[in-house]
Chain A
Amino acid sequence: MPGLGTSFGRGGATVWVPDLQNADCILIEGSNFAEAHPVAFRFVMKAKERGATIIHVDPRFTRTSAVADIYAPIRSGTDIAFLGGIINYVLANDKIFREYVEAYTNASYIVGEAYKDTDELDGLFSGYNEETRSYDVSTWAFERDEQGVIKKDPTLAHPRSVYQVLKRHFARYTPEMVERTCGTPKEQFLKIAETLAKNSGRERTTAFAYAVGWTQHTAGVQFIRTAAILQTLLGNIGRPGGGIMALRGHANIQGATDIPTLYDLLPGYLPMPSALRDEQTLDAYLKTNTKATGWWANTPTYMISLLKAFYGEHATAENDYGYEYLPQLIGDHSMLPTTFAMKDGAVKGYFVIGQNPGASGQNAELVRAAMERLEWFVNIDSYDNETVSFWRREGADPAKIGTEVFFLPAATVLEKEGTMVQTSRLLQWHDKAVEPAGSSKSDAWYFNWFMKRIKELYADSTDPKDRPILHTTWDYDHDDPHERAKGEPSVLKVLQEINGFNVADRTQVGGFTELKGDGSTACGGWIYSGVCPDARTNRARNRNASGEYTALDWGFAWPANRRTLYNRASADPSGKPWSERKKYVWWDEAKGEWTGVDVPDFPKTKAPSTPADKHAKGMAFHSGADPFIMNVDGVAQLFVPAGLQDAPLPAHYEPLQSVVENPIYAQQSNPLMREWIRRDNAYNKPVDAEYPYVMTTYRVTEMSGIMTRYVPWLAELQPSAFAEIDPELAVSKGIKNGEYVTISTALGEMEARALVSGRMRPLRVNGKKIHQIGIPYNYGSMVAFARGDSVGELIPIAVDPNVSIHESKTLTCNIRAGRRRAHHEGRVDREVPPDERTRMGEPTF
């Protein structure tokens, strides 16, 4: 998310799925698009039918590769090198879309003298502090004149211009280096680079699609940054058939980031107040988080409207709109660090809602062992799973586990109404199809009643610390007497509150531009504003696909029902489409407004000729030719001077557990990644002869998790955990197709059925032959029809510094024919003493 966010201004995918059909070329890398997103993939097939070239770069030849025009194998974890190679190729051969880059990016900005690149520091940037493992990002700042305006060189010739820095930074990423690092044959790499260049520019566009194949790495955010830089250089952002399609995961994962389940965000991507920053009062918070220029100058409006939605009449200017009721961060409270804290006894209670970390989690045994230390555990789920049943897993003794477990049955999606926000940022309402089975209730029911009862319990309290509970508005009772009788809240009312309303007369606001920062409007999530513009309208219900292919009357895409973000960039600086073939949004001189097939992502009547006022605040700072309105400067950031902790420009680092030394820099892996060096989280050493094979994890079409494992029709299609192994490795290890193999890491063992296939192929990396083993992550061993050991048993926790995402795509392992030992025998932290092989220590909490 920050990969795209820092580059373009918003964390969301820059395009929407059906627009892929307009692409002339689609690069799918870091995603198994066809298998994990089969329905969306129809638009890739449509593009192919129209003559587009489909490229798939993946460690494995998958069902996506099968229909791609070009497939290239890659060693897992080396995409920065691969894409960096293409960046080098387009820069060195002058294949960039120069007019676009000059007008819409910070290529001309001059980087300060303090900046030192990885090129000079062999893998590190300037400002690195070895002790704190962090960067002083002030060394990455742009050079400014006396008035504070950033210096630029429109000719891009200045040696410290971003363009020249980029050129030098990526110069080492030659085709030979790509082959040496990624194992991708040079000819195939060059073919892809040429194809991308050929299909970009004024007349043609290329789209990129990725998913967790790029994110689940200790440098995951930088993988996406590399793609963002390349797509920007090729002039593909904001244009039809271009952009970067970040494919989201579970059905509502986009919605769960927008109105977030994340610990560090408030709805609409407002940061969660932090005790570690200067944010103790509302003023301080707004000062820290409001950007002087660009759209985020509106932060106070959105924050105050949000507080009004939270606390209603109790939010007044006098009490900072209840700002102090919000909790403040005191560290990394994301899931994985919390799990360690739980294991170490620092967490007493745990809610798990709609997740099965006992199978899908990294270091799954750590997760389950951590739950043994809890006083109580609440699971809201539709099925029995490996998490709620942790106390009866193989090797556990229920008599010795004191955790009190509450299982609350959840209604499934068909048994409740609400919205889902899919990968195109599209909100779609769905009705309830059937009544919940048995005693199950919707998730909203549970939270409605948790809050109602908690409020009841505190009703008489006068203690100021209980005010957040008492002052929270809570009026979601259903209008339908039938639903009300069952205690179901109205999720439509929740959506209406998210849309926002005028406090005085409770009329809905028409969109976020109507919000005010004076407490006269309330809005629960500004980015969705406009979805319920009046009391009777719910645009998430719209189902009219007629007219333009953008189908603006089908659902509601945030923000403001836009499909393609930054679509101002589909026109040239003067407002005319770059080409007739690729016209999308343009300036209508006669009407004096932006028009096109989509909702313009630009102030509607701001003419292209509008000059920038470099001393103004807010949007006036941008000219009529600055398409990236969310960004401070209005342009795409090729170089990110602030906002990312680990690098202003992506550099190839090896994964924490790698089978080779970094071929490009002396710095082996991301210096800022977070590790937990302790016995119950044992890592394989880098380049460890005991664990000579690369292991990667992924999903298969037939399986998702518990929900599919319980369905016999799906279970019969992929009935058990398996491991994909190349024939050469199988022969050398005496592994027979279809039979059991055991895969091991320092952390543990798992068994799976061998699927020996030429789709896995050994690669030559840095002169060494590398075998990769692929294991689907979808299995768990305790319940349902489709079963098998979870690959989470093998994966120690290490995370990316920006978003705390785990590295589960690139690991090392060993493999042998035959079945595993009983779990407790194979497990390192129970019986095997720490030895030199594993990088272990004592608990750190």
Chain B
Amino acid sequence: MPNLPPNPDDALMGAASRNGRTEAVVPTYYERPMLKAPHWEWNVVTYLFLGGVMGGLGLIQLLAHPERDDERRLKRTARYTAFILAAANPAILITHLGKPERFLNMMRIVKIKSPMSLGVWGLVFYSGAAGANVVRELAVDGVLPRWMRFVAPGFMAPAQALLGAFTAGYTGVLLSATANPFWGSGKRHIPAASVCSGLASASALASLLSTLEGNHAAVHKLERLEMVAGAAELLVLNDFKRASGEYGKPFFEGKRGERLRTYTVLAGTLAPMALNALGQMVKLPKPIDAVRTTVASVLTLVGGYILRDSLIEAGKASARDPKAAFRQPR
């Protein structure tokens, strides 16, 4: 084939028409994406985010020791909140599916290979465990008859924690085990980051609620937990950037990357970390400390949400990149 002279207007003929077999450049099909972008909007972002928070609360309710008063209160708060979130999440999913009956279609089968299927079942069992534990709390609180404590025997707490770890983790697998090149490139990182971010957000939410309750002792512990989770999340994201390379660009670079750095890294993790560290080191007056905790918690929660949103949006961008899909990450 003869050599092609440079084309004065590249867009004119479309890349595909010019790139014969001989050109080293990978041809694209008129710059058209090969893959389909996800149809997912805010509802799925929220679903994934809440899945993480819920999961984190599962761990917190287990960690909190019933014998220590602050932790006892924390345990109760964590359990109530987890249950509310677990109940809300299907509703959010339904807003995405369009009709309530459609959620029930998910209950037809259990499919080990489908993170979406396992996730829904995880959510259902988690709700069950969380529900049982809430019943126990209500019985302990005397709202329900005392004997109803036995609805949730002792192993229900670790069960909720285990299921929680799953609900937080599967939201990551749900993304990474798809054909989407960017998501696929994070097959380890996205699940790990989801767990970390989920726990950080859960801690933030719990400390926010504990602050409102005036349970400062618990806040102190939660903030330490949040710092650890946040630090782990940053480590994972940093390694993700390295490992994903080209595939990661829609996530780590450009406007989306900037947003991620601003909201999730800076404002969503580093800033609350600093505030929390401050709280650990200096004893501030109570009202000021409450503001500090509130600000730190809200920032963490927003950061966690933006992380999920960025993941989804970067996934869309990645799917629209005609070249990325030709060689899918293994």
- Direct chain A–B contact by Cβ atoms under 8 Å: yes
Interface flags for B1-31 (1: CB within 8 Å of A; 0: not) read 0000001110111100110000000000000
State the majority secondary structure of interface residues on B: helix
Contact call B7/A737, Cβ cutoff below 8 A: no
| Alpha-carbon distance between A730 and B7 when the two chains are bound, in angstroms | 12
Distance between B83 CB and nearest chain A CB, rounded to angstroms:
51
Contact call A731/B9, Cβ cutoff below 8 A: yes
Q: Which of A653-678 contact B (CB under 8 A)?
A: none
| Alpha-carbon distance between A816 and B14 when the two chains are bound, in angstroms | 21
Q: Which residue of B lies closest to A759 (CB)?
A: B17
A281 in the interface, Cβ–Cβ < 8 Å? Answer: no
A756 in the interface, Cβ–Cβ < 8 Å? Answer: yes
Distance between A738 CB and nearest chain B CB, rounded to angstroms:
10
| Alpha-carbon distance between A730 and B9 when the two chains are bound, in angstroms | 10
| Alpha-carbon distance between A813 and B14 when the two chains are bound, in angstroms | 26
Contact call A756/B8, Cβ cutoff below 8 A: no
Contact of B8 among A731, A736, A737, A757 (CB under 8 A): A731
Q: Which residues of A contact B18 (CB under 8 A)?
A: 758
| Alpha-carbon distance between A737 and B8 when the two chains are bound, in angstroms | 13
Contact call B13/A757, Cβ cutoff below 8 A: yes
| Alpha-carbon distance between A223 and B152 when the two chains are bound, in angstroms | 95
A727 in the interface, Cβ–Cβ < 8 Å? Answer: yes
| Alpha-carbon distance between A727 and B5 when the two chains are bound, in angstroms | 12
Q: Which residues of A contact B17 (CB under 8 A)?
A: 757-758
| Alpha-carbon distance between A483 and B258 when the two chains are bound, in angstroms | 76
Q: Which of A736-759 contact B (CB under 8 A)?
A: 736-737, 756-758
| Alpha-carbon distance between A438 and B9 when the two chains are bound, in angstroms | 54
| Alpha-carbon distance between A737 and B18 when the two chains are bound, in angstroms | 14
Q: Which residues of A contact B13 (CB under 8 A)?
A: 727, 737, 756-758
Distance between B214 CB and nearest chain A CB, rounded to angstroms:
65
| Alpha-carbon distance between A727 and B17 when the two chains are bound, in angstroms | 11
Q: Which of B18-53 contact A (CB under 8 A)?
A: 18
Q: Which residue of A lies closest to B8 (CB)?
A: A731
Q: Which residues of A contact B14 (CB under 8 A)?
A: 737
| Alpha-carbon distance between A756 and B8 when the two chains are bound, in angstroms | 13
Q: Which residues of B contact A757 (CB under 8 A)?
A: 13, 17
| Alpha-carbon distance between A731 and B14 when the two chains are bound, in angstroms | 14
Q: Which residues of B contact A737 (CB under 8 A)?
A: 11-14
Distance between A817 CB and nearest chain B CB, rounded to angstroms:
12
Q: Which residue of A lies closest to B13 (CB)?
A: A727
Contact call B11/A727, Cβ cutoff below 8 A: no
Q: Which of A707-731 contact B (CB under 8 A)?
A: 727, 730-731
Q: Which residue of B lies closest to A730 (CB)?
A: B12
Q: Which residues of A contact B7 (CB under 8 A)?
A: 727
| Alpha-carbon distance between A815 and B12 when the two chains are bound, in angstroms | 17
Q: Which residues of B contact A730 (CB under 8 A)?
A: 9, 12
Distance between A241 CB and nearest chain B CB, rounded to angstroms:
33
Q: Which of A231-261 contact B (CB under 8 A)?
A: none
Distance between B282 CB and nearest chain A CB, rounded to angstroms:
64
Distance between B21 CB and nearest chain A CB, rounded to angstroms:
15
Q: Which residues of B contact A731 (CB under 8 A)?
A: 8-9, 12
Interface flags for A209-220 (1: CB within 8 Å of B; 0: not) read 000000000000
| Alpha-carbon distance between A240 and B284 when the two chains are bound, in angstroms | 103
Distance between B299 CB and nearest chain A CB, rounded to angstroms:
47
Q: Which of B219-270 contact A (CB under 8 A)?
A: none
Distance between B6 CB and nearest chain A CB, rounded to angstroms:
12
| Alpha-carbon distance between A731 and B12 when the two chains are bound, in angstroms | 8
Q: Which residue of A lies closest to B14 (CB)?
A: A737
Distance between B16 CB and nearest chain A CB, rounded to angstroms:
11
Distance between B177 CB and nearest chain A CB, rounded to angstroms:
35
Q: Which residue of B lies closest to A735 (CB)?
A: B12
Q: Which residue of A lies closest to B7 (CB)?
A: A727
Q: Which residues of A contact B8 (CB under 8 A)?
A: 731
Q: Which residues of A contact B9 (CB under 8 A)?
A: 727, 730-731, 736
| Alpha-carbon distance between A704 and B68 when the two chains are bound, in angstroms | 84
Q: Which residues of B contact A758 (CB under 8 A)?
A: 13, 17-18
| Alpha-carbon distance between A757 and B13 when the two chains are bound, in angstroms | 6
Q: Which of A747-804 contact B (CB under 8 A)?
A: 756-758
Q: Which residues of A contact B12 (CB under 8 A)?
A: 727, 730-731, 736-737, 756
| Alpha-carbon distance between A325 and B12 when the two chains are bound, in angstroms | 64
| Alpha-carbon distance between A129 and B7 when the two chains are bound, in angstroms | 54
| Alpha-carbon distance between A727 and B6 when the two chains are bound, in angstroms | 12
Distance between B316 CB and nearest chain A CB, rounded to angstroms:
24
Distance between A800 CB and nearest chain B CB, rounded to angstroms:
37
Q: Which residues of B contact A736 (CB under 8 A)?
A: 9, 11-12
| Alpha-carbon distance between A730 and B12 when the two chains are bound, in angstroms | 9
Distance between A645 CB and nearest chain B CB, rounded to angstroms:
46
Interface flags for A387-424 (1: CB within 8 Å of B; 0: not) read 00000000000000000000000000000000000000
Q: Which residues of B contact A756 (CB under 8 A)?
A: 12-13
Distance between A63 CB and nearest chain B CB, rounded to angstroms:
15
Q: Which residue of B lies closest to A728 (CB)?
A: B8
Distance between B194 CB and nearest chain A CB, rounded to angstroms:
41
Q: Which residue of B lies closest to A732 (CB)?
A: B8
Distance between B75 CB and nearest chain A CB, rounded to angstroms:
61
| Alpha-carbon distance between A266 and B239 when the two chains are bound, in angstroms | 87
| Alpha-carbon distance between A756 and B10 when the two chains are bound, in angstroms | 12
Q: Which of B123-171 contact A (CB under 8 A)?
A: none
| Alpha-carbon distance between A757 and B16 when the two chains are bound, in angstroms | 11
Q: Which residues of A contact B11 (CB under 8 A)?
A: 736-737
| Alpha-carbon distance between A737 and B7 when the two chains are bound, in angstroms | 14
Distance between B170 CB and nearest chain A CB, rounded to angstroms:
40
Distance between A725 CB and nearest chain B CB, rounded to angstroms:
10
| Alpha-carbon distance between A731 and B18 when the two chains are bound, in angstroms | 15
Q: Which residues of B contact A727 (CB under 8 A)?
A: 7, 9, 12-13
| Alpha-carbon distance between A757 and B12 when the two chains are bound, in angstroms | 8
Distance between B107 CB and nearest chain A CB, rounded to angstroms:
38
Distance between A598 CB and nearest chain B CB, rounded to angstroms:
45
Distance between B288 CB and nearest chain A CB, rounded to angstroms:
62
Distance between A715 CB and nearest chain B CB, rounded to angstroms:
21
Distance between A345 CB and nearest chain B CB, rounded to angstroms:
50
| Alpha-carbon distance between A757 and B7 when the two chains are bound, in angstroms | 12
| Alpha-carbon distance between A758 and B7 when the two chains are bound, in angstroms | 11
| Alpha-carbon distance between A736 and B13 when the two chains are bound, in angstroms | 9
Distance between A73 CB and nearest chain B CB, rounded to angstroms:
16
Distance between A731 CB and nearest chain B CB, rounded to angstroms:
5
Distance between A736 CB and nearest chain B CB, rounded to angstroms:
7
| Alpha-carbon distance between A657 and B11 when the two chains are bound, in angstroms | 34
Q: Which of A93-121 contact B (CB under 8 A)?
A: none
| Alpha-carbon distance between A525 and B219 when the two chains are bound, in angstroms | 103
Distance between A280 CB and nearest chain B CB, rounded to angstroms:
65
| Alpha-carbon distance between A757 and B9 when the two chains are bound, in angstroms | 12
| Alpha-carbon distance between A756 and B9 when the two chains are bound, in angstroms | 11
Distance between B222 CB and nearest chain A CB, rounded to angstroms:
58
Distance between B20 CB and nearest chain A CB, rounded to angstroms:
11
Distance between B14 CB and nearest chain A CB, rounded to angstroms:
7
| Alpha-carbon distance between A731 and B11 when the two chains are bound, in angstroms | 11
| Alpha-carbon distance between A730 and B14 when the two chains are bound, in angstroms | 14
| Alpha-carbon distance between A331 and B57 when the two chains are bound, in angstroms | 97
Pick the most buried of B8, B11, B12: most chain A CB atoms within 10 A of its CB.
B12
| Alpha-carbon distance between A758 and B18 when the two chains are bound, in angstroms | 9
| Alpha-carbon distance between A135 and B12 when the two chains are bound, in angstroms | 51
Distance between A61 CB and nearest chain B CB, rounded to angstroms:
12
Distance between A370 CB and nearest chain B CB, rounded to angstroms:
41
| Alpha-carbon distance between A798 and B18 when the two chains are bound, in angstroms | 40
A736-B11, A757-B17, A758-B17 known, 17 other contacts, Cβ within 8 Å: A727-B7, A727-B9, A727-B12, A727-B13, A730-B9, A730-B12, A731-B8, A731-B9, A731-B12, A736-B9, A736-B12, A737-B11, A737-B12, A737-B13, A737-B14, A756-B13, A757-B13
Residues of B that sit less than 8 Å from A by CB: 7-9, 11-14, 17-18
- Top-4 shortest CB links A-B: A731-B8, A756-B12, A737-B12, A727-B13
Residues of A that sit less than 8 Å from B by CB: 727, 730-731, 736-737, 756-758
A-B contact pairs, 11 of them (CB 8 A): A730-B9, A731-B8, A731-B12, A736-B9, A736-B12, A737-B12, A737-B13, A756-B12, A757-B17, A758-B13, A758-B18
